[in-house]
Each structure stands twice: as structure tokens, then as C-alpha cells.
Amino acid sequence: MINPLSWPDILSTLLERRDLSVYESTWAMRQVMRGDATDAQLAGFLVGLRSKGETVDEVVGFRDAILEAAVPLPVSSDVLDIVGTGGDRIGTVNVSTTASVIISAVGVPVVKHGNRAASSSSGSSDVLSALGLALTLDPQSVAATLERTGIAFAWAGAFHPGFRNAATVRSELGVPTVFNMLGPLCNPARAEANAVGVAHLDRVPLITGVFRTRGATALVFRGDDGLDELTTTGHSRIWEVTRGDIHEHDLDPRDLDIPLSDISELIGGDPHHNARVLRETLDGKKGAVRDIVLLNAAAGIVAYELSHDASQTQVPIVERLRHAYARAAEAIDDGRALRRLDEWISVSQELAAGQ
């Protein structure tokens, strides 16, 4: 018989810098999701994990507990999620959110999973709310939005009600925690294709390791400037995960004829500022924001195509990104991207009114 666990057991293990098993990790996260952990216990847990360094087994256990407690989303898993872990503390515009609209306009089904900002001034749900998207749709309405528009937003606050039990502690700690990694791994759609930006290099083996155990397809990437995006200020590293294999690449944006930008050109502001920038970008405004958004949209398209054809790894990734970048740019220039945004907002409001 397995002895019952307790918070002193878990915290003592972390203080002794020993790794938790999948069983122990699942137990701990279940307590958090149920609201059975005090703020002190949770803060000690998150800081202890961060200090020791998380393992793949621990993140798998946390993910299992979160998905176990998630509100089911009745959609096909043949969708893409594009998301950043956050935590780069640079404060760029909402790159992955803008990219998700473009990707959808190209014809790739997208279920964007996100939350309000925990370590930045404007998270995905913040900027989408500022644009007028209805966030608090029930699961059937989210599924209907995807069916009617090709894109939907799964707000973590609605699908992972247990996350609210950690919100105050995360906000007061003000530093990236394991939850920054868990968001991209816990999309209730259980997306088979993923494009994930990771701010901290030491987190990359954890993210790629979990995707390997899930058998999912992913492009995981990080800018050498620390952005949790494919950057246009210099080189990025890409880890391509498919069928349990990982292929690593180095990307210089100039290989795609994208001019280098300065990080100051990419800085955003509050949700209303970022919403204005997002709409201007989809309306065709040229410049550094368009370049980085299109580059990350290209990564999402490549990830989705890889999920359907693993042999794509035999084609140079620069070639695949170049082709996808051109498709994404065309979706902006012919107006499809902006129309998709407006349609998405309109349908979400209609469904919200009918709930």
C-alpha cells in the first residue's frame, strides 16, 4: 500500500534537492487544482521547484493532473496551438496571438490557449479582450467558433478553473514558475501540432521532453536575445519534435530575407496599445512587427504541416519556413487575415449573447 503524501513530504523532498516522481508530482498538482494547497504551501512548492530545477517526469505529472481536472473541449485534436511561455520580461507586442489569426486565415485550424498576463503587461486573453473577443464562452460555443471561423480561443481561466488557485501566488512572486511551462502543454484541445516559444534555455529540454512523451509534433524555439519567439533581432534556435525524434536548427532571419530589427521596435504596451498594433499589422502595416509576426506564423504553419507529414524533416527548414512565410504574408496582403479577425470577434460575441 502506498503511504499517503503530505505537503511536508513534498517540500522536504524539494528542499533536499531531490526530484519528485510522476506520482508525487501528480499528487501535488491535484492539491493545487482542488484548492487544497495554502498560499504558503504553493509558494514554497513553486520556489522549491524553481531552485532545484524541474524534471520531465515532474512536468508530465503536473500536466496529467491539470488535464485530468480540465473542462472538456469537444473539438478534434487536429489543430495547432501557437504560444509562448512568457517570462522573457521584455514586453513585446502579442506576437503569437497576432500570428494565430494569420495562420487561421491561411487555412490551418487554430485553438489558441492562453491566459491573462502573469509576468508581462498584456497576455493573449488581455489583448483579445481589448479587441472585443468574447472570452467566457462555454465549451460548446468554443467548438462552434472553431467550426465556423477556423480559430478559437480556449481561455485557461474557463477550462482550467484550478489555475485560479495559483493566480495570487504567481502574481505576487512575479517570477516565471513551472506554470509558465504548463500553459503551452495543457491546451484542453490536446492539440497535435504545437509552436512554442520558450524564454529560458534551461526549460527547452523539459518542453521538448514532454512533447516526446506525448507523441505530439512541435516546433519549440527561442531567440538568442531571450525572446520566447522566433526573433528578428538575430539568431534563433529551433527544436523540431516529431515521432519521438528531435532535430535542432539555427535560424538567421536574413536567410529568409528578413532585415534585422532592434528590440526597441518590438516593444508593446498595455492591452489596448497591443490590440491597436495587432489590428494595424493585420491591416498591412509594414515594419519590424509585421516581420516578426510573419516569421512566427510561418513556424506555426510548418509545425502543422509536420504533424501531417513527418517526412517534412527531410526538407531544409529554411525552405519550409520561406514557403510558409510567403503564404502568411499573402493572407495579410489580400485582406484575409483582418477579415478573419473581425469574423472571429463577431461570431464569439454572437455565441456569447446566446449562452
Q: What does the pLDDT read at residue 119?
A: 44
User: Residues 225-245: pLDDT tens digits?
Assistant: 999 999 999 999 999 999 889
Mean pLDDT across 310-334: 97
Q: What does the pLDDT read at residue 122?
A: 65
Q: 308 near 320, Cβ under 8 Å?
A: no
- Candidates 250, 237, 233; CA nearest to 201 is 237
User: Residues 204-233: pLDDT tens digits?
Assistant: 999 999 999 888 899 999 999 999 999 999
Position 268 pLDDT exceeds 50: yes
Q: Which of 10-19, 50-59, 78-87, 285-294 is least confident? A: 78-87
Using 50, 70 and 90 to split pLDDT, how confident is the model at 154? very high
Q: What does the pLDDT read at residue 121?
A: 52
Instruction: State the cell numbers at 43.
Output: 509558494
Position 174 pLDDT exceeds 70: yes
Mean pLDDT across 8-26: 97
Euclidean distance between the first and the last CA atom of the chain, given in angstroms as a whole number: 47
Instruction: State the cell numbers at 305.
Output: 504541416
Q: Which residue has the higher pLDDT, 118 or 332?
A: 332
Using 50, 70 and 90 to split pLDDT, how confident is the model at 335? very high
Using 50, 70 and 90 to split pLDDT, how confident is the model at 3? low
User: Residues 92-143: pLDDT tens digits?
Assistant: 899 999 999 999 999 999 999 987 654 445 678 899 999 999 998 999 999 9
What burial class does residue 226 get, using C-beta atoms within 10 Å of its C-beta: 0-12 exposed, 13-18 middle, 19+ buried? middle
Using 50, 70 and 90 to split pLDDT, how confident is the model at 320? very high
Using 50, 70 and 90 to split pLDDT, how confident is the model at 88? low
**How much of the chain, in percent, has pLDDT values that exceed 90?**
84
Instruction: State the cell numbers at 278.
Output: 495587432
**CA-to-CA distance for 187 and 167, rounded, in angstroms?**
18
**CA-to-CA distance for 168 and 43, rounded, in angstroms?**
10
Q: Which of 1-15, 53-67, 241-255, 272-286 is least confident? A: 1-15
Position 78 pLDDT exceeds 70: yes
Q: 101 near 331, Cβ under 8 Å?
A: no
Position 2 pLDDT exceeds 70: no
Instruction: Residue 64: count other Cβ atoms within 10 Å of its Cβ.
Output: 16
Position 87 pLDDT exceeds 70: no
Q: Which residue has the higher pLDDT, 183 or 302?
A: 302
Q: Quick one: how far is CA 164 from the chain centroid? A: 18
Instruction: Residue 323: count other Cβ atoms within 10 Å of its Cβ.
Output: 15
Measured CA to CA in angstroms, residue 295 lies from 112, 195, 220, 225 at distances of 17, 12, 14, 16
Position 11 pLDDT exceeds 60: yes
Position 285 pLDDT exceeds 90: yes
Instruction: Residue 67: count other Cβ atoms within 10 Å of its Cβ.
Output: 17
